[in-house]
Amino acid sequence: MGRGLVNRLLALIAACAALAVASAAQAEDGYRLWLRYAPLEGEALARVRALPLVVHADQDPTVALAGEELVHGLAKLRGEERRPGVVITASRLARPLPPGSLSFECRDSAVPPGGAFAIKPADGGLRISAGEPIGCLYGAFALLRELSLGRNPAKIDLDERPAMPLRLLDHWDDPNGYVLRGYSGRSIFDWWKLPEHLDQRLVDYARADASIGINGAVVNSVNASPLFLTDRYIPKLRRIADAWRPYGIRLYICARFSAPKDVGGLPTADPLDPAVQAWWKARADALYAAIPDFGGFLVKANSEGEPGPQDYHRTHAEGANTLARAVGSRGVVIWRAFVYSAEDQTDRAKQAYNEFVPLDGQFEPNVILQVKNGPVDFQPREPFHPLFGAMPHTRLMFEGQITKEYLGQATHLAYLAPYWKEVLDAQTGRGGTVAQVIAPAGMAGVANTGSDRNWSGSHFNQANWYAFGRLAWDPTLSSAQIAREWAMQTFSRERGFIGKVVPMMIASREAVAEYMTPLGLTHQMATGHHYGPGPWICNLKRPEWNPCYYSRADKGGIGFDRTASGSNALAQYAPSVAAQWADPRTIDEDYLLWFHHVPWDFRTPSGRPLWGELVYRYDRGVATVDEMAATWASLAPYVDPERFADTADFLRIQSREARWWRDASIAYWQSINGLPLPAGTRPPEHSLDYYKALSFPEAPGE
């Protein structure tokens, strides 16, 4: 081969390599989340091009980040390579700015502290003002969001403040990198390499959180390892806290209640023991010495085998208060209300209320009680938890589960904003809606982030992280508005896309509720993985871990009687609320079997007998998933091939598994009620024994 040909071949190979790199750089793998800042077009582009990149950077690292974000984001929206922009220092800001400037005032006493900001027209341009630097960062993200949605800068006029002080993510991550109920790879925290090495992903995570107003993260699982309270972990925690501080993310840890014994060398963890109290105080002091803005402790106590004050015949209040006094005014102790005991077999749904309501008023002021959205456990649908509104002298915080343990995990598409809104908007009958009750405290979401390139196990699961932050910032936002802004930033601004994808997202959670647990059924998931159906399971050692405990299905009927003739859980709600649910003939059917045991031939408001209605709902859930898959298929022209294919694959899985849920459930109910299928109904594809025999050793477990 001649030298010329060799050179040409080498050049060709180099060109191919360069192309490969270029296309890899373009690959949409989901890592950039909703912060893609895809170039604008047409008038929107012209308007943003007219905004000069003028930012004010003072010495504060958070203000600097806000400036960086704007420079980066505006350049991207303008379709330009990243440019440094014009940075005006604090001292020069006193001089008149060029007309049409974009500027910051981050210590504006007219704006309240705590993250509030205003974006107003000023000097022919725009000014972001905030009472403190974090408000400027939130303002920068808000401005970029508005521009990304195509808003005209001349018409942007915002005045925002967060609805609640704590907007947290709870990570159920273990020191060895395992994520409990995690469906997106391993933990984002690499405790092995910390403190020397901090993965860039942790910084990118903080940026994403800040962009939606999240302001704290609990870095370890509620089934807590005591390691996090040892000296060895303090430098690791400090390294993360230092990286997160400029983004306004405070670090919290889960505290294992038995830690004074486990790692403190004490013979007891009795919260009233002076040595135990001194130990907690010393631990809190050590943490605050390293991390002055340490958020505090989250505690799961006397729940599912975790240690707690009741091991020493102390109350939850006595336990929480010991930790709260150790932390003092520096932070908070978040105590979980998720407790249910093996002994009390009346009704699991009643137990947290019974346990905590008598303690109202006994907690230190820096204790917050964290209450799951519903009284059982993050099911596809539950009524709001009766504790909301029932403890007027205690700050209550909402706990939601972003990770979708019971809603199809990574593969099933279920947009959760409508789910959380259902609870946040519910009238408690005791001092307003749930959102109003939690406003003095906040919201925590069990995070769905992991080491997967797309962070959340699926592209659409990112929407739940996004929606959680947005709702914690402002629970009055509508599910559709949040879906719309997420989809526009994450995928495409095209009307043809948004007009279809938003309704698809809005319908998705209801579809899951219908093909898994229609009409208020609950906890019918198989043991361990909680992914597929297991309504027949009835032999687990604790009755309330069995699906049959919740369905109460027998020849005569189905559903859990929580009225006065049954467990009377209904009486835990305010009379005005209980009245809506007391009568099976008038209750919202979505809660029918949650509160009532009714005969199979019970006439539902639809006119169908219960058995027919149940089958109808399963079928409707399956049909909605098929429609979602068809909708997505029609959206190919708007979506990059990588994310399009990933989502299409997952919708195929969901279609198949929605049928699995429907068929296995119907086969089981039929084995109980002995009824023929309603006329025209497709019989289950396999026998009940087939479904019972399925096992999934490869599924993510407990």
The SS3 assignment for 654 reads helix
**702 touches ligand GCV by CB under 6 A:** yes
Phi/psi for 56 (5° steps) reads -105, 115
**Amino acid letter for position 282:** A
Count of residues that interact with ligand GCV, criterion CB under 6 A = 11
**What are the CA-CA distances from residue 583 to residues 347, 386, 510, 514 (Å)?**
19, 18, 23, 22
The least distance separating ligand GCV from the CB of residue 700, rounded to whole angstroms, comes to: 11
User: Which of 51, 210, 222, 467 is close enough to bind ligand GCV by CB under 6 A?
Assistant: 222
Phi/psi for 493 (5° steps) reads -90, -5
Q: Which residues of 72-102 are buried (b: 16+ CB within 10 A; e: fewer)?
A: bbbbbbbeeeeeebeebeeeeeeeebeebbb
The SS3 assignment for 486 reads helix
The least distance separating ligand GCV from the CB of residue 177, rounded to whole angstroms, comes to: 16
Would the CA dihedral through 531, 534, 539, 542 be positive or negative? positive
Angle at 669 between CA 663 and CA 675, to 5 degrees: 105
| Binding pattern for the stretch 285-314 against ligand GCV, x by CB under 6 A and - elsewhere | ---------------x---x----------
8 Å CB contact between 595 and 570:
yes
Cis peptide leading into 165, omega within 30 of 0?
Answer: no
DSSP annotation of 250: E
**Closest listed residue to residue 651, CA positions, set 684, 617, 627:** 627
Angle at 76 between CA 81 and CA 466, to 5 degrees: 145
Residue 135 or 374 having the CB closest to ligand GCV: 374
User: Which of 172, 247, 257, 420 is close enough to bind ligand GCV by CB under 6 A?
Assistant: 172
The least distance separating ligand GCV from the CB of residue 304, rounded to whole angstroms, comes to: 6
**123 touches ligand GCV by CB under 6 A:** no
**341 touches ligand GCV by CB under 6 A:** no
The SS3 assignment for 525 reads strand
8 Å CB contact between 459 and 632:
no
Q: DSSP per residue over 580-642, as a string? A: HHS-TTTS-GGGHHHH--EETT-B-TTSSBHHHHHHHHHHHHHHHHHHHHHHHHHTGGGS-HH
What burial class does residue 659 get, using C-beta atoms within 10 Å of its C-beta: 0-12 exposed, 13-18 middle, 19+ buried?
buried
**348 touches ligand GCV by CB under 6 A:** no
Alpha helices in 27-132 (DSSP H): 42-49, 61-77, 90-93
The least distance separating ligand GCV from the CB of residue 403, rounded to whole angstroms, comes to: 10
The least distance separating ligand GCV from the CB of residue 300, rounded to whole angstroms, comes to: 5
- Which DSSP helix (H) or strand (E) runs through 20? helix 3-26
The least distance separating ligand GCV from the CB of residue 377, rounded to whole angstroms, comes to: 5
User: Which of 233, 257, 335, 338 is close enough to bind ligand GCV by CB under 6 A?
Assistant: 338
The SS3 assignment for 188 reads coil
Largest pairwise CA distance in the chain? 95
Distance CA 688, CA 348 (A): 28
The footprint of ligand GCV on residues 173-192 (CB under 6 A) is 180-181
**Closest listed residue to residue 597, CA positions, set 494, 687, 520:** 520
Residue 409 or 508 having the CB closest to ligand GCV: 409
The footprint of ligand GCV on residues 5-34 (CB under 6 A) is none
**Amino acid letter for position 552:** R
Residue 172 or 515 having the CB closest to ligand GCV: 172
Residues designated as active site:
304, 377, 405
User: Which of 377, 613, 646, 657 is close enough to bind ligand GCV by CB under 6 A?
Assistant: 377
Would the CA dihedral through 115, 101, 123, 97 be positive or negative? positive
| Binding pattern for the stretch 399-438 against ligand GCV, x by CB under 6 A and - elsewhere | ------x---------------------------------
Sequence-separated (6 or more) residues with CB below 8 Å from residue 482: 417, 466, 467, 470, 471
**What are the CA-CA distances from residue 243 to residues 198, 205, 293, 569 (Å)?**
9, 11, 12, 46
- Which DSSP helix (H) or strand (E) runs through 500? helix 495-516
User: Which of 122, 150, 223, 566 is close enough to bind ligand GCV by CB under 6 A?
Assistant: 223
Residue 377 or 510 having the CB closest to ligand GCV: 377
The least distance separating ligand GCV from the CB of residue 75, rounded to whole angstroms, comes to: 43
Structure tokens of 135? 């408000």
8 Å CB contact between 666 and 673:
no
The least distance separating ligand GCV from the CB of residue 188, rounded to whole angstroms, comes to: 18
The least distance separating ligand GCV from the CB of residue 356, rounded to whole angstroms, comes to: 15
| Binding pattern for the stretch 642-681 against ligand GCV, x by CB under 6 A and - elsewhere | ----------------------------------------
Binding site for ligand GCV (CB under 6 A): 172, 180-181, 222-223, 300, 304, 338, 377, 405, 702
